[in-house]
Amino acid sequence: MTITAQKYLVAALSLGLLAAVVAAGTVESRLRLEAEKAAGAGTGPLDPALDRGRQLYEKYSCVACHGAGGAGGVYNANAQTGGMINGVKFVAETYTKEDLSKKILDGVPVVPKADPNGPNPPLAMPSYRGVIGVEEMRVLVDYLYSLRPPGAAKKPAEW
């Protein structure tokens, strides 16, 4: 083999090696992405648009009353809804996107009492009219829709 042929061979081999490293890197980053997705299930969506919705859910304090990820669990004495504020995980089943936006804009100024002779529940939902604009509302509502657990057949009884 001449020196030139050897040089070509070495160059070809290094190119092959480079291609293999690049391919391995792609597979590796794809696997990492899938692992992150699996780990993120339940803790928060990775989709940037949905993540922005999650940030709005925090920014507008929805999280303080409806819980992280819409899971509920916030105490509201004498509220008709079992003394707790409802979670918002299943709104995709009970509201159209339009009705959901309207509900958020209206708020719930008067929360129905469990015991009519008891005190008013301390927490009522403020109106977000003039606070959340059309574009943010769309992102927030998409996020709320995304909270429905995949495969959930219908809203569970305890909700």
Q: Which residues lie near ligand HEC (CB under 6 A)?
A: 60-62, 64-66, 76, 81, 85-86, 88, 91, 100, 103-104, 108, 111, 123-125, 128
Cα torsion 145, 148, 154, 155: sign: negative
| C-beta of 62 vs 139, nearer to ligand HEC | 62
| C-beta of 26 vs 96, nearer to ligand HEC | 96
Cβ 41 to ligand HEC, closest distance in Å?
22
| C-beta of 22 vs 131, nearer to ligand HEC | 131
| C-beta of 78 vs 81, nearer to ligand HEC | 81
Beta bridge partners of 74: 85
Nearest-10 Cα torsion for 44, 47, 49, 51: 20
- Listing DSSP states for 17-82 in one string gives HHHHHHHHHHHHHHHHHHHHHHHHTTT---SHHHHHHHHHHHHTTHHHHH-GGG---EE-TTBTTT
Cβ 45 to ligand HEC, closest distance in Å?
16
Cβ 156 to ligand HEC, closest distance in Å?
13
Cβ 104 to ligand HEC, closest distance in Å?
5
Could you tell me if 70 and 87 are in contact, meaning their C-beta atoms sit under 8 angstroms apart? yes
| C-beta of 1 vs 135, nearer to ligand HEC | 135
- The whole-angstrom separation of Cα 5 and Cα 120 is 90
- Give, in degrees to the nearest 5, the angle at Cα 45 between 44 and 49: 125
Cβ 152 to ligand HEC, closest distance in Å?
15
Give backbone dihedrals phi and psi of 100, rounded to 5 degrees, phi first: -65, -45
